[in-house]
Chain A
Amino acid sequence: MNQRTINNLVRGAILLFLASSSVYTLSETEQAVLTVFGKPAGDAVNTPGLHFKLPFIQVVNRFDKRWLEFDGDPNQIPTRDKKYLWIETYARWRISDPLRFYQAVQDERGAQSRLDDIVDGETRNAVASFDVIELVRSSNREFEATEELSGVEEGSEVDAKVVTGRAKIAEVILAKAAAITPQFGVELVDVRFKRINYVETVQAKVFERMISERKRIAEKSRSEGAGRAAEIRGQKERDLLAASSEGYKKAQLLKGAADARATSIFARAYERDADFYAFLKSLETLEKTIDDKSVLVLSTESELLKYLKGAGGK
């Protein structure tokens, strides 16, 4: 009884062991190459789930099926116009042919080092054959500018037309690198510029340029302000003189018309007897001009005093 149970247990254990070494599972993210003593046996397996194999003899070499990461070596690279840029790229790749992959590079580390050579090399080639502006911009769109900030002349570098542009340059790198990678069972799916910056020394110069550019904008703004203010002050002078002279003109016209009217009224009235008018006017004037300070010297011959000498006079 005891012996039999133990036998059963041992038998069961052996069976379990055999079974467990003749099945394997593949996740959604995995693919595998079976090898016998290091030699690949059959095609690659890339359907997920439960699979069978020969126990002990066949070894499962698992590979990832997903897109895998790759970071380019951050490096300073001279552009065609001799500017040093700090370039960081990233790429994504996948093991498209596990069999070849296994034979050519063994594992991911092997692939990464091959990719280093290929992607970094192609990046350097591409960067070196374009100007800075091509690497920074993607299109020739016109910049929008506010009134305050516009009108600052820009360097020829910036005005240069973009023929290829950043995205296309990345595509060039991808196309060239992707042509090589199938050799070791890898499909390069994307290469992109992650970061493009100036190297330290260039950056200092760029900052200087930015500062001088800003100073120029500031100066322009200030002088625009002064100019506008002067213009307004000039307008003020003009409007002041216009207003006062306009007033004077209107006043004179009004006065002139009134004077003319008065003259004609007077003339019409007095022409009836000019002599009498003169007489009345002289009397009026006489009355107005004599005041308490006046000294009158009267002759006894005068009309008023002629009776002083005797009634009836001469």
Chain B
Amino acid sequence: MAEYGRQDPLDPLWDAVADLGKRVRGAGSGGGSGAGVNLSRIRNYVIGALVLLFLFTGFYQVAADEVAVVQRFGRYVRTAGPGPHFRVPFGIERITRVPDKRQLKMEFGFETVSSGTQSEFRTTDESKKESLMLTGDLNVAVVEWIVQYRIKDPYKYLFHLRSVSETFRDMTESTMREVVGDHSVDEVLTIGREAIALQAREELQKLCDLYENGIEIQQLVLQDVNPPDEVKPAFNEVNQAIQEKERAINEALADYNSAVPQAKGQAEQQVRAAEGYALERVNVAEGDGKRFEAVYEEYRKAPQVTRRRLYLETLARVLEKSGSKIIVDQQAKGILPLLQLDSLAKEKK
């Protein structure tokens, strides 16, 4: 649980100096046994040491991504930005550095072991407890998330709460559970993810303002959100069933598409054929009609002769075409039974 805001590294020195003072006092009561040494030399050494200390403890440097909070005798006096600075030396003014420009991150439900192109994560028993939560429909979900934040107000961050980080973790967990507790498991797992992250972020910022911990939430992102391991197969089954449903529908649609357009085409074909028939029928009728009229015109001029001529011509063509001809005299009776009509027909084949 790293608290951001580290004490000045020189501070232990002050404690050492104070210690030395105590020892000097102790030595004082022991009597001046080393009284014979050259005092002016000691004085020079002491003055030299003091000057060095003055310089060492007076100047300090603040890095680009942080500020230094300065306290004089414990009281807050100012905040110093990046760059070299001077302070009242000898521990009268002490500084605490706070990385106020750095984006800080906290992980919930998992831990990044090593980050890189292929980051490694792990879950511990504690992080499992963090991620397990009840949803609004009284189901259980495993939610992993991260919070990215910035220290907006170093003064509040340092002085308003003890163990800010631990408190911030508690606040975040509480907020996330409250928000998830108002959503159904399906919302948590799928459709509501963004809304949940957004709402949790807002609520958490409100809580930060209430606690005055000087933190500004920049991002709250849901990472892996899963049903608990025990019920995962059942959730997968639902996904599978949805796939199956889609497949069944698609197959039926494919069936439909393969049959119906063809049938429509065939119907169209029927119609076209009928149109053809209709054209033919009318044309034939008109043609035949015209032909008849033409023949009739001629026929009308000499009906008897034409009639006979037509008859004879036709008969001639017919006789030429036909297979066998039998000419029977009117007087010859009863010869029909004698004719082998079958064999005559066969012969021709």
Contact = CB atoms under 8 A, between A and B. Distances in A.
B170 A27 contact: no
Contacts of B52: none
Given A217-B241, A240-B260, A250-B271, A292 B348 contact: yes
Contact of A92 (B211, B251, B303): B211
Contacts of A90: 170, 174
A158 B348 CA distance: 97
B321 A291 contact: yes
A171 to B, nearest CB: 12
A201 interface: no
A303 B129 contact: no
Nearest to A210: B231
A29 interface: yes
Given A221-B244, A224-B245, A290-B318, A262 B284 contact: yes
Contacts of B47: none
A251 B344 CA distance: 46
Majority DSSP secondary structure for residues of B touching A? helix
Nearest to B132: A197
B153 interface: no
A201 B163 CA distance: 35
B125 interface: no
A30 interface: yes
Interface residues of A, number: 127
A141 interface: yes
A138 B324 contact: no
Interface string A261-287: 111011011101100110110010011
Given A229-B249, A235-B256, A268-B289, A211 B234 contact: yes
Interface in B251-292: 251-253, 255-256, 259-260, 263-264, 266-271, 273-275, 277-279, 281-282, 284-286, 288-290, 292
A261 to B, nearest CB: 5
B303 to A, nearest CB: 8
B2 interface: no
A247 B269 contact: yes
A291 B249 contact: no
Interface in B185-241: 185-187, 190-192, 210-211, 227-228, 230-231, 234-235, 237-238, 240-241
Contacts of A280: 292, 295, 310
B322 interface: yes
A166 B181 contact: yes
B317 A287 contact: yes
A66 interface: yes
B18 to A, nearest CB: 8
Contacts of A300: 327-330
Interface residues of B, number: 130
Interface string A26-56: 1111100000000000000001111000000
B328 A294 contact: no
B281 A261 contact: yes
B315 interface: yes
A262 B281 contact: yes
A69 B231 contact: no
A13 B289 contact: no
Contacts of A198: 134, 140
A262 B269 CA distance: 23
A5 interface: yes
A296 interface: yes
Interface in B123-142: 129, 132-140
Interface string A72-108: 0000000000000000001010000000000000000
Given A2-B35, A69-B166, A239-B263, 14 more contacts: A28-B159, A158-B136, A210-B139, A228-B249, A231-B252, A243-B264, A247-B268, A258-B279, A262-B282, A266-B289, A276-B299, A286-B315, A290-B322, A293-B348
17 contacts: A13-B25, A26-B75, A69-B166, A136-B134, A145-B186, A145-B187, A194-B177, A207-B231, A222-B241, A236-B252, A239-B256, A250-B274, A254-B271, A262-B282, A273-B300, A297-B328, A298-B326
